[in-house]
Structure 1
Amino acid sequence: MKIVIIGAGIGGLLSALSLHAAGFEHIEVYERSEEIRGLGVGINLLPHAVRELTELGIVDDIAALGVEPSTLAYYNRHGQPIWSEPRGTAAGYAWPQLSVHRGRLQIALRDLVEQRVGDIIRTGHRVVSVEHGEEQDLARFTTEAGEVTVSADIVIAADGIHSAVRAERYPEEGAPPSNGLTLWRGVAYAEPFLDGSTMVMVGDGEQKFVAYPLGPVGDDGRMPINFIAEQRGAGSGQVDWNHPIDPKPIVELFRKWAFDWIDIPGLIASADEILEYPMVDRDALPQWTFGRTTLLGDAAHAMYPNGSNGGSQATLDARTLAFHLAHAPTPRDGLRAYEADRRPATAALLEQTRQAGPEKVMVLAAERAPEGFSYIHDVIPEAELADVATAYKQAAGFHPEMLNARASLSVER
């Protein structure tokens, strides 16, 4: 069976590794960029994704790129604590959570594909269309040398939030819709905050700051810290993850957010580069699969980063697709099983992220005590805070008991 993957991002590369591990040998990856440069900033791989990396036998390669956060803590815009919970193995998972640089992760996955699967990545190929046939589908690409057509038994469109394959099936969609927030992302080298292994979220639904370590403390006492600053009603609106901007206006937006446990304007000011991106997602679709072609990752279900689940859901897509293709009697049956498994789950999760996901605790605190509080449980009962956290884990498929007990997606060869 010949399988063509469109897109060499995290979802596409993990699809290649997952399919190869499941016994498929004729795999090709087509990437629009002329080279894979490993762009981006930080990304969190939650325990349900790390489980899949572990079962693929590549977790050591990925873990070496970053760190394991031990705690997630939420604060209001006054720096007062709202909710805190352990993460990874400290929370009872059999697998850790990993914080890594997205670019380094992509390069590592590219190298693993080359080592395990072979020279299968074709760069400089921009997909134009996919035609559906009875026996095979035909993918058309443009290159510097002209048009290239490739036939395949299965086509996996992992071509991101601006997916050309999705747009071909849903031409009325247009640009990804925004919720009015703008994100500014960067990496700063600074002294550790709190215990040096905590991921923090500060603010509310109008303005927010997220920070977490990406590496260990160096000899100079500093460590790489990934951050995301958010503000409603600001920014250029340009949908490009690699759009750099002047950090000075962002520092001013957060000027009053310097607390005794973290200096937020100082972190923003110390970043080498600030990248701007509007908070956008995609509506849930009624169908992912057409003919022998299916959508995967952001092409299927791009969602807000509330809950840090984008890369993890792409990982689950890749592993689930490989599992069903390996066990189904026909390729079409495998695609149907994959979609039946993943489409309802990601649609439910997308809806949760639009309601702020686990970050709802910050929204509640701002609504009930906009000027702050003396004791959070006077404002929000502890049980209500716990319910918010539990509901999101269940929707995202990484509640500890559920995940630890779930059957493996590995394929016996």
Structure 2
Amino acid sequence: MTVLIAGAGIGGLTAALSLHAAGTDARVVESAREVRPLGVGINLLPHAVRELTELGLGDDLAALGVATAENVYCDRHGRRIHTDLCGRAQGYHWPQYSVHRGELQMLLLAAVRARLGAGAVRTGTRLVDFEERADGVRARLLDRASGEEREYGATALVGADGLHSTVRARLHPQDGPLRWSGVRMWRGVTTEAEPFLTGSSMAILRDAAAELVVYPIGRRRINWVCLVREAEPQPLTEDAAWNRAGRPADVLPHVAGWRLDRLDVAGLVAGSDVVLQYPMVDRDPLPAWGSGRVTLLGDAAHPMYPVGANGASQAVVDARVLAHALARAAGVPDGLARYESARRTATTAVVLANREMHRAGGRTPQDLARITGTYRHATGSDVTVLNSRASLSVR
């Protein structure tokens, strides 16, 4: 059995590693001509760290990122409102890590090539279309360098090709545009930054008009995200901008006069090495992801607001459940159906919980404690649940 994975992002590469560990061959095709360590910071929650640790990457993660110990909620003047412990400090058996997204992707890519072979990931290759047959899937692949198209046969196809997924569009042609919350996000990374609070804290500063999230991602770098409402929720249009370069000058008016213990907020934004802007988007959960021998994974299946820091983590768990289900099923369609049944229910809860957390906001210690506790319960990430759950490793 060979599983073809479209997309060499965090979810797609973790799927390749998980399938290989379970005894299933996997091949990954990636449209980008070269995978480079691009992007800004993300968080890996304990449920994702557990899965990557069981794949043998625990020491690499510890060397790559910062073990986040607490989320500190403050007002714009840095006055602490509420503290929510994270990772091991919360009682999990595994830490929470804040890492550079591109560096995590490169770590996973190196592991795939080392374990599955140098040719396991084919870059510069775009999935154009596919046809499901009784005994497998025929994918049509475009070599972007030569312009040549050719067919590739696989036992199953996994669309891990992100928010603008070709596989999803083919499976769900009436899906419609992404849903924009009306919030614009600027993301930046500042290097040679001095530590703040404990040095392993994530801080969330808020006022009535804006929110700023800051956290270290290792090697004296601080990641920051500024969220500002620009419009009412609506379908995403092209003029809403996507993944465009931003400027510190666009952000500074929203955080003028903000401060936090040992952190110069304006200086942090002004000194950023990279600033990107995105609309905050998600999609309504699908009633079904795929059928037969084709399915979806990660953002292609369940794009979500980033307010729960859960997008990459859910993609990692998707990958592990996919491999586990296929290894234990009577056949490929049965395995993919089991995978989808488990993960579609779980990720729908996360998408809706992220929306609720975004709407709820929370301004008092009591509100924030209730919201964060409710979120962990709704998303299946209670400490006792995760710590006691059986391993997804197939032996």
Q: Same fold (TM over 0.5)?
A: yes
Q: Which amino acid is 1:291 matched to?
A: G
The residue aligned with 1:181 is 183
Query: Aligned pair in 2 of structure 1 residues 76, 191: CA closer, same or farther (>3 Å)?
Result: same
Counterpart contact for 2:213–2:224, Cα < 8 Å: yes
- Write out aligned runs for 1:219-258 (5 A): 223-233=220-230, 237-240=240-243, 243-258=244-259
Correspondent of 1:395 among 366, 378, 381: 378
Distance of 1:83 and 1:233 partners within structure 2: 27
Correspondent of 1:211 among 209, 214, 238: 214
Distance of 2:316 and 2:164 partners within structure 1: 19
The residue aligned with 2:89 is 90
Counterpart contact for 1:132–1:290, Cα < 8 Å: no
| DSSP-derived class of the 1:211 partner | strand
Distance of 1:134 and 1:198 partners within structure 2: 52
Shift of 1:141: 1.7
Correspondent of 2:155 among 148, 153, 156: 153
- Return the TM-score normalized by structure 1: 0.90
The residue aligned with 2:68 is 69
Query: Aligned pair in 2 of structure 1 residues 140, 72: CA closer, same or farther (>3 Å)?
Result: same
- Structure 1 residues 125-150: Cα deviation after superposition (integer angstroms, max 9, x where no partner): 11111211111111112223311211
| DSSP-derived class of the 2:28 partner | strand
* Root-mean-square deviation over aligned CA pairs: 1.7
- Asked if residue 41 in structure 1 is aligned to residue 44 in structure 2, the reply is no
| DSSP-derived class of the 1:306 partner | helix
- Structure 1 residues 351-381: Cα deviation after superposition (integer angstroms, max 9, x where no partner): 1111225x84xx231xxxxxxxxxx4xxx5x
| DSSP-derived class of the 2:129 partner | strand
The residue aligned with 1:116 is 115
Distance of 1:176 and 1:239 partners within structure 2: 11
Distance of 2:350 and 2:208 partners within structure 1: 18
The residue aligned with 1:335 is 336
- Asked if residue 198 in structure 1 is aligned to residue 181 in structure 2, the reply is no
The residue aligned with 1:298 is 299
Query: Aligned pair in 2 of structure 1 residues 204, 3: CA closer, same or farther (>3 Å)?
Result: farther
The residue aligned with 1:371 is none
Distance of 1:205 and 1:174 partners within structure 2: 32
What 5-or-longer segments of structure 1 have no aligned partner?
217-222, 366-375
Q: Which amino acid is 2:136 matched to?
A: Q
Counterpart contact for 2:77–2:259, Cα < 8 Å: no
| DSSP-derived class of the 1:150 partner | strand
| DSSP-derived class of the 1:364 partner | coil
The residue aligned with 1:220 is none
The residue aligned with 2:235 is none
What 5-or-longer segments of structure 2 have no aligned partner?
232-237
The residue aligned with 2:17 is 17
Q: Which amino acid is 1:102 matched to?
A: R
Q: Which amino acid is 2:295 matched to?
A: T
Q: Which amino acid is 1:182 matched to?
A: R
| Identical-residue share of aligned pairs (%) | 47
- Write out aligned runs for 1:248-287 (5 A): 248-287=249-288
Deviating more after overlay: 61-70 vs 94-103: 61-70
Shift of 1:77: 3.3
Distance of 1:15 and 1:199 partners within structure 2: 29
Distance of 2:388 and 2:138 partners within structure 1: 40
Counterpart contact for 1:161–1:282, Cα < 8 Å: no
- Structure 1 residues 167-222: Cα deviation after superposition (integer angstroms, max 9, x where no partner): 11222233322111111111113211112111011115741100101115xxxxxx
Distance of 2:42 and 2:222 partners within structure 1: 12
Distance of 1:397 and 1:138 partners within structure 2: 36
Distance of 2:338 and 2:74 partners within structure 1: 41
